[in-house]
Chains A and B, each alone.
Chain A
Amino acid sequence: MGQVGDMMNKAFWVLAAVTALMFAYAPVAIAGAPYESTMLLVQKIFYFHFSTWMALTAAVVICGTGSAIYLFKGSATADRLAFAAAELTVVFGAFGLVSGSLWARKAWGHWWQWDNRLTMALLLELVFIGYLLVRKYGGPGAEKLSTAMGIFGAATAPFVYKSVDWWRTIHPKTSVMRSLGTTSPEMWRVVWFCTFAFLLLFTLLLVVRVHLEERRAELDRLYLEAEG
């Protein structure tokens, strides 16, 4: 067990070093990527904006899956994973909304529009903020209640993704990303480089956050032992 722990610890630090190097190189790659013909410089927000939503998608999927496993099988590990992923959903969602707003101010002339995609993304963020609030202030049984919110949030995510294709919106459609490989291979490479860096960062933060929950559970167990 000690050897496995040491290996995991080493793997974590190697992964952290790789992630740090990727984030150090990301601005160079973004600066070298070609300019988009109509939006020019401000379009370069896209590389982190898209990547953060990819990391958020991973967080939402993990939160939904972990919540469902906890609800039906009662696994405490799955619950800790779901809780950690919910917090990361809020963090990455906050950056996604703020970066999108900054981009919109320049490209559309408005900080915010009550557009289908933007409104649904905001609602998704609010659902996960609700999850964290229920968890913190819900009292006994808050785990089960927040679990239901996690599943509900995960079920909402596909609608947020497809909203630009189903309804009339000012936000670019999903086809823009699908065709980017052929329309601008240089941009496509940089986008996926940044996305990979974000997914690595998300993995690292998830590991640390789950570790925090494990230590909290251990502390609760020690308190119960001391009282008993």
Chain B
Amino acid sequence: MRIIQRGFVIVCSLLLTALPAWAVQTPPPQEGFVPINELPPGEQLPAAPFLIGAYAFFLVLMVGYVWTVARRLNKVEREMKALEQRSSQGSMRR
């Protein structure tokens, strides 16, 4: 009888200590891919800023690149003109 009582106390103690652990366990994570349009509205990001951002970045990048090429080309042309002027002045002095 005493053995049964002791066993009962042990089982109850184990159950009581395990209860808080069960209580804080998070539900198992959902497996697989969740399409973004199936996410709750609070978790969805608006798409328009990303789309506009991508196309705006392309525009800025292309305008910027063409501007740098034009600037470098103008610099070379200016140097060539200055060099030609210098060489023509030199030949006139001679």
Interface residues of A, Cβ cutoff 8 Å to B: 27, 38-42, 44-45, 48-49, 52, 91, 94-95, 98-99, 102-103, 105-107, 201, 205, 208-209, 211-212, 215-216, 218-219, 222-223, 226
Contacts and interface: CB of A to CB of B under 8 A. Distances in A.
Contact of A94 (B35, B36, B61): B61
Interface string B70-92: 00110011011001101100000
Instruction: Determine the interface band of chain B, counting residues with CB < 8 A from chain A.
Output: 20 to 34
Contacts of B72: 212
A226 B57 CA distance: 44
Given A102-B50, A102-B53, A222-B83, A95 B69 contact: no
Contacts of A45: 50-51, 54
Contacts of B35: 38-39
A58 B36 CA distance: 34
B55 to A, nearest CB: 7
B61 A38 contact: no
Given A95-B58, A99-B58, A103-B54, A40 B47 contact: yes
Given A91-B61, A205-B65, A218-B80, A98 B73 contact: no
B9 interface: no
Nearest to B90: A226
B45 interface: yes
A106 B79 contact: no
A49 B57 CA distance: 12
Contacts of B76: 212, 215-216, 219
Contact of A44 (B45, B51, B58, B83): B51
Given A38-B37, A91-B65, A102-B50, A48 B80 contact: no
A85 to B, nearest CB: 14
Given A40-B36, A212-B76, 6 more contacts: A39-B36, A45-B54, A105-B45, A212-B72, A215-B73, A219-B76
Contacts, number: 82
Contacts of A52: 58
At the interface, is chain A mostly helix, strand, loop or mixed?
Answer: helix
B21 interface: no
Nearest to B73: A212
Contacts of B53: 102
Which of B37, B84, B87 lies at the interface centre, i.e. has the most chain A CB atoms within 10 A of its CB?
Answer: B37
Given A39-B36, A42-B47, A219 B58 contact: no
B48 interface: yes
A208 B54 contact: no
B49 to A, nearest CB: 9
Given A219-B76, A223-B83, A226-B86, A27 B61 contact: no
A98 B54 contact: yes
Contacts of B80: 215, 218-219, 222
Contact of B57 (A40, A99, A209): A99
Contacts of A48: 54-55, 58
